Structure 1
């Protein structure tokens, strides 16, 4: 019963709009280790955010107060894979592929408000940015005594990105693969489908080689290098049966976003970072699963991440979110197919005018309000 119900829960919790400014897309979980027997899953997700804002003040004849950014956050696809094998009565092995970080930013070419970033020559031409990542996690669990399991392993993350800003600044990174580790522990009580797990993912630091140019006519493309740290995180997950065929589940996750910073060398001459965060994030999810019969079960979930206040980055102008989701699972012997959708209310955000403007520090440049998005996903799972 617990595995049937948590199939929908897991899909809803791992297919979502990114938190903390738009670069995190998949929240890692060790739940795969607790599937019964040998297990394989394939995941597909589609996320459609709608993020737009308006310029707060006039900055020249072609850059007027009230000008709209248009929808600057593009849709994206998420892919995932998981495999779990019981090595013996006490030990299990899991291999997980996901795409944890990403960005697809596109301020339209005719947008009067575009990303300033602290560099001069602010103008109306559009800006774009992408971040792509792939990760493989290998975990081994060991049941140290009845109902208590410890687990750990390694995680490899491959990341690359590029930016082209309105002011002719461009930057493209090398593709880097670096490693971190995962440790955790879980307690279970099978008779009431109860489990509590605590998982720590270490930070991972990339040393990028970058090709930068700004402005194009005076500084040719120059190869430089800089470091970016993917943040550490702690995730508390839990579930318990609360009635016949009914499961309560949820999670609390902390991410150390203040350690994350993208500041290429030439861009740093403008006195600011391309992307950075002043606060960490804590994200909450709570849901209920219900088995209707031997074939069908469903789940509903609610999510919340508090707004941090202050200014958000122009490449990710969001601040907190709320969400509601539903999922349905059909079980056919060893095969389970789950489909789910999630609606996200994206928190309002303000972005800061760059230093090139003749305005006091801390002046609001962009106001992003009443934004939202939706996500849909499918998981195909097979026990063997």
Structure 2
């Protein structure tokens, strides 16, 4: 009986030590969507504050040319990762020995990046340099581009006339072989005309983008994504000793976002701005848990559904004006936040030591942000007839965290964790250029009274190196040797 008492006390003492273990670096993952507050015994409530500060620096790409994969180390990119914080709240109670109810609040997904300084992600207003970079070296200045556009247009006109003449000769030819030859020449001349028109259009787009760059001089690329989630949970215990529990409930989620693309790194897309208005929609949560109190064992498998949002979006794309259309347009964008699976586990090793494990899976490879004006405009590039997303990821996220907790005194416990986050692929979007992380953390909990406790923790992150690329898969930056830290504090109440 004494061992059982120790282990149960230990489980209570360390239940909230992982306050700083919820920051994730893959995709837009932030809170980790923790539901362990609902799995506590008796009546339980918690309020958690988490602060994250990452140092993400690198170099832009100084290469100018047509090889999208080529990279030449360019100017330094100072820290782009804005520090951010978020809250998590949870309340649960047992209705009787079978049913439990709870409500959880967290901020599951988000992003915060801000480019500053002298690099390709900040609008510098140098027209000549902008035209040269955006045209991939095909024009050195607006004047040079204008002259070449004139020559290309003349060449396209001449090729078009030649195509018409060859086509007419093919029609009037009396010899089948001659007709075939003239038809082939007409086809080749028409292809040449289309190619020259495409080159002229590309140079015109480069000049238009350079003008947008100049109009935004001093502005840097920025992205901010915010989300909030409220989850209601009903649980039912079953089995001979009520060791099993199934639980589930509705999830209300709210999402909003702002994006600004600035600098010559984005080529013709420089100057693009989008505001995605807040939207809320619903999903669900479902899970199953098992507990064995005499050895402080708890295991829970939780599934959260994807949530589909249909959101109003206001886009400004300066390039569009070069083709005679309105560069500022409103529309609707559909964004689906991903489903996820969490596995939480703990077990007593001895009367004063607890082992913990956590695994999380999120299929970020299925996620994308596809703004209508941005995507429709990208179809003007013949290489992307289906259009391009603004943000997408190549791989799914796996997160694994292992920990040990030790009760040092009846009211004091400490813990340590190590973790790994796979990231969501590399190369990755320049709006969030890290590839997962390794982590190490420490935490402590002090029971102020029998029911009230305060916990604090910290974690150090070794962020994965990443290559920043555009949706066109063009390499635009390299980010290496970055790190960050997470701090968290929790106040909790428990009555059994």
Is the pair's TM-score, using the shorter chain for normalization, greater than 0.5?
Answer: yes
Residue 358 of structure 1 corresponds to: none
Residue 8 of structure 1 corresponds to: 17
* Shift in CA distance, 109/216, structure 1 to aligned 2, threshold 3 Å: farther
1:84 equivalenced with 2:92 (yes/no): yes
Distance 2:430 2:237 in 1: 47
Distance 1:292 1:154 in 2: 39
Distance 2:33 2:73 in 1: 41
1:291 equivalenced with 2:387 (yes/no): no
Secondary structure of 1:71 counterpart: coil
Residue 317 of structure 1 corresponds to: 433
Q: Please, which of 303, 306, 313 is the counterpart of residue 210 of structure 1?
A: 313
Distance 1:215 1:65 in 2: 29
Deviation at 1:109, TM superposition (A): 5.1
Q: Please, which of 37, 41, 56 is the counterpart of residue 46 of structure 2?
A: 41
Deviation at 1:58, TM superposition (A): 3.2
1:19 equivalenced with 2:25 (yes/no): yes
Secondary structure of 1:66 counterpart: strand
Residue 159 of structure 1 corresponds to: 255
Unaligned runs of 5+ in 1: 356-361
The answer to whether the 8 A contact 1:47-1:376 is kept is: yes
Distance 1:300 1:309 in 2: 28
Deviation at 1:307, TM superposition (A): 5.1
Q: Please, which of 45, 65, 75 is the counterpart of residue 67 of structure 1?
A: 75
Residue by residue over 1:154-193, the C-alpha shift from the partner in whole angstroms, topping out at 9 and shown as x without a partner, is 1111000011211221110111001111110011111000
The answer to whether the 8 A contact 1:117-1:354 is kept is: no
Structure with the greater alpha carbon radius of gyration: 2
Secondary structure of 1:25 counterpart: coil
Residue by residue over 1:220-264, the C-alpha shift from the partner in whole angstroms, topping out at 9 and shown as x without a partner, is 421111111100111111100001210000111110112211110
Deviation at 1:330, TM superposition (A): 0.4
Residue 262 of structure 1 corresponds to: 369
* Shift in CA distance, 305/117, structure 1 to aligned 2, threshold 3 Å: farther
Deviation at 1:310, TM superposition (A): 3.4
Deviation at 1:71, TM superposition (A): 0.7
- The 5-angstrom pairing of residues 176-215 of structure 1 reads 176-215=279-318
Deviation at 1:216, TM superposition (A): 7.6
State how many pairs are aligned: 371
Unaligned runs of 5+ in 2: 1-8, 66-71, 124-132, 136-204, 263-269, 379-386
Q: Which has the higher helix share?
A: 2
* Shift in CA distance, 307/134, structure 1 to aligned 2, threshold 3 Å: closer
Distance 1:228 1:337 in 2: 38
1:337 equivalenced with 2:454 (yes/no): yes
Residue 273 of structure 2 corresponds to: 170
Residue by residue over 1:137-168, the C-alpha shift from the partner in whole angstroms, topping out at 9 and shown as x without a partner, is 11111002221111001111100001121122
Distance 2:489 2:296 in 1: 24
Distance 2:359 2:471 in 1: 35
Distance 1:352 1:265 in 2: 21
Q: Relative to structure 2, which stretch is displaced further, 328-337 or 216-225? A: 216-225
Q: Please, which of 223, 237, 249 is the counterpart of residue 143 of structure 1?
A: 237
Secondary structure of 2:429 counterpart: coil
Secondary structure of 1:110 counterpart: coil
Distance 1:380 1:317 in 2: 33
Distance 2:466 2:74 in 1: 16
Residue 30 of structure 1 corresponds to: 35
- The 5-angstrom pairing of residues 82-121 of structure 1 reads 82-108=90-116, 110-113=118-121, 121=209
* Shift in CA distance, 208/138, structure 1 to aligned 2, threshold 3 Å: same
Q: Which has the higher strand share?
A: 1
Q: Relative to structure 2, which stretch is displaced further, 88-97 or 104-113? A: 104-113
Deviation at 1:110, TM superposition (A): 3.2
* Shift in CA distance, 354/5, structure 1 to aligned 2, threshold 3 Å: closer
1:245 equivalenced with 2:352 (yes/no): yes
Secondary structure of 1:174 counterpart: strand
